[in-house]
Amino acid sequence: MFKPLTRELNDLIERTRDRQLRLAVTGLSRAGKTAFLTSLIHQLRHAGVEARLDLLGAAREGRLLGARRVEQQDLGVPRFPFDQAMAALDAHPPRWPEATRGISELRLVLRYRPRKSRLFGSEVRELTLDLFDYPGEWLLDLPLLAHDFNSWSQQQRTSGQQRDEFFSQWHSAVTGLKPSDELDETRLAEIAELYATGLRAAREAGFSDLQPGRFLLPGDLDGAPVLQFFPLLGLDEHDPGGLAKLPADSLYATLKRRFRYYQQHIVKPFYRDHFQRFDRQIVLVDVLGALNAGPERFDDLSRALSRLMESFDYGQRSLLNRLFSPRIDRLAIAATKADHVTPEQHSRLTGLLEALLAEPIKDLRYADVPVKAFSLASIRATQVREVSDNGSTLTALRGTTLSGEPTLMFPGDVPSQLPTADFWARQGFDFTAFRPLPRTSGALPHIRMDAAIDWLIGDKLQ
C-alpha cells in the first residue's frame, strides 16, 4: 500500500519543480526590512491591477496574474505583521510600521502565465513564495562559532574610543574581578545587564558592529541565563591549563559554559533550521542613515556588514561550509530609503553601497553566488519637484516631516565612493525623516522595488 506523501516530501517535490521559493529579507536594525517586505507583498498582490511593476518582466508582459496569501508552512514561526503594517500606513496621519523583533514568515501563492506555454497561452502556473524577515544582528553571531570563550573575550576588547564610552559602567564592574571568583547569580545578571546596556546604547548611537546579537534583540530569551554572560578581560595573562582546572562555579567556568550554550543552542539552530533553507536573500542597508550619523558610525557599519556578509561566503574553507551546507543561489544587496535623495543621486548611492561591500562582493563572485546591488525606496515618502532659482532649475524633494511639517529640501550629494576625511569635514550629510505619503488606491509608491523583485524571483516566473 502507498503511504500518503508527507508535507515535507511534497515541499521537496514542489521545490525541485521550481514551484516553491524561500526568500529571506535581512538587514541591521532599522534598515527597512518591514517596509520592504510590506511593499513587496503589496506590489505582488496588486500585480494584476494597478500594479507599479514595470521593471518586473512577468508583470510588464501582463503574465503575472496576482498573489494570494495562504497559511504558512512552519506554524512555529510568527506571522509577518503585514496587516498591522498596512493599518499603520493607512492611519490618519499615516505612520511607519512598528519596529519588529525576531524572525517572521508569510506565504504567498503567485499565479502567472508561463512565457512559452505548451497549451496555447491558456496555461496558468503557480509559484509558492515563502517570505522571511529576520534581524541581520543574528548573522553577526556566525563568527562567534569560530571562537572559544577565551579567544572571543580577547577579540571583544571594544575598539574605538567613542564606543568604549558606552561600556564604562560595565568596565568598572569587571575591573578587579578574577576568573576564580565566585559570583552569585544576581551579581552575574547585573554585570551582564551592564554589558547589554552598553551594546544597546552603542546601537542607539548608530554603531552596528555589536556582539552577541541576541543581547540586542533577545525576543523570548529576555532574562534567561543564556543571555547573561560577557567577555572576561585579561584572560591571556592566565595559564590556560590553570583556567581549565577552575571549579564549575567559578566566574570563568560559568561564563564559559553560558557562552558555549549560546553557541550551541541559539546561534547554531538559527543557521540549521532557517538560514540553511533559504533559497534567495536580500540584504538591506541604510547607507544614507549611516552617512547621516558621521564617520565613526559609518566605519562601524562597514565592519558590521563585512561580518554579516560572511554568512553568505560559501567558499570551500568558510566556517559556514564547514558547519552547514548553505545553498542560497542568488543574493541582492540594496541601499534603502533612496527617496531621501533626488533621482540623479541614486546611481551614486548604489555605487557607494558597492564600495562599502566591495570585499564581500568579490568573495561572493569568486564563490559563484550571483549578487546584484540596488538602491531603492520600499515605500516612497517624498515627491520630486523642479524648482527654479535665479534662472536655473534645481531638483528638490517634497515631503512631510514626522512631526507633520511640510518641507521642501535639497538633500546633499551622496559620494559614490567611500567618503574621505575631506567629505566629512566639508559637507557631512544631513537629512530629515519623512512621514509616509497619504495612501491612494493601487500599490504602494516605491522606487525600483520592481527591479529588485525581478532579480529575486523573475526567473521563476518565466
Ligand X SMILES: Nc1nc2c(ncn2[C@@H]2O[C@H](COP(=O)(O)OP(=O)(O)OP(=O)(O)O)[C@@H](O)[C@H]2O)c(=O)[nH]1
Reported as half-sphere exposure (CB side, CA atoms, 13 A), residue 299 has a value of: 9
Minimum CB separation of residue 270 from ligand X in Å reads: 16
Which C-beta is closer to Mg ion: that of 25 or that of 414? 25
**Residue 140 CB neighbour total at 10 angstroms:** 26
Q: Hey, which residues between 368 and 427 contact ligand X (CB under 6 A)?
A: 377-379, 381
Minimum CB separation of residue 213 from ligand X in Å reads: 12
Which segment (45-53, 94-102, 241-249, 404-412) binds ligand X by CB under 6 A? 94-102
Q: Can residue 287 be called a binding residue for ligand X (CB under 6 A)?
A: no
Which C-beta is closer to ligand X: that of 101 or that of 257? 101
Q: Hey, which residues between 303 and 342 contact ligand X (CB under 6 A)?
A: 336-337, 339-340
Long-range contacts formed by 315-319: CB under 8 A, 24+ apart = 315/363, 315/366, 315/367, 319/142, 319/143, 319/145, 319/146
β partners of residue 334: 284, 374
Minimum CB separation of residue 407 from ligand X in Å reads: 12
Grid coordinates standing for 182? Answer: 565566585
> What, of Mg ion, ligand X, none, does residue 433 touch, CB below 5 to 8 Å by kind?
ligand X
Would you tell me which residues interact with Mg ion (CB under 5 A)?
Answer: 33-34, 100
User: Contact at 8 Å (CB) between 83 and 97?
Assistant: no
The sheet with strand 383-389 has its strands ordered as 383-389, 392-400, 406-409
Which C-beta is closer to ligand X: that of 297 or that of 340? 340
Strands 104-112 and 64-70: antiparallel
Q: Which residues of 340-374 are buried (b: 16+ CB within 10 A; e: fewer)?
A: bbbeebbebbbbbbbbbbeebbebbeeeebebbbb
User: Contact at 8 Å (CB) between 230 and 170?
Assistant: yes
Any idea what DSSP says for residue 211?
A: S
Out of 24, 27, 51, 253, the residue judged to bind ligand X by CB under 6 A:
27
Q: Hey, which residues between 97 and 116 contact ligand X (CB under 6 A)?
A: 97, 99-100
Q: Site map for ligand X, 34-73, x if CB under 6 A? A: xx--------------------------------------
Out of 20, 24, 32, 194, the residue judged to bind ligand X by CB under 6 A:
32
Which C-beta is closer to ligand X: that of 72 or that of 378? 378
Q: Can residue 96 be called a binding residue for ligand X (CB under 6 A)?
A: yes
Helix (H) or strand (E) holding 368: none
Binding site for ligand X (CB under 6 A): 27, 29-35, 96-97, 99-100, 135, 336-337, 339-340, 377-379, 381, 433-434
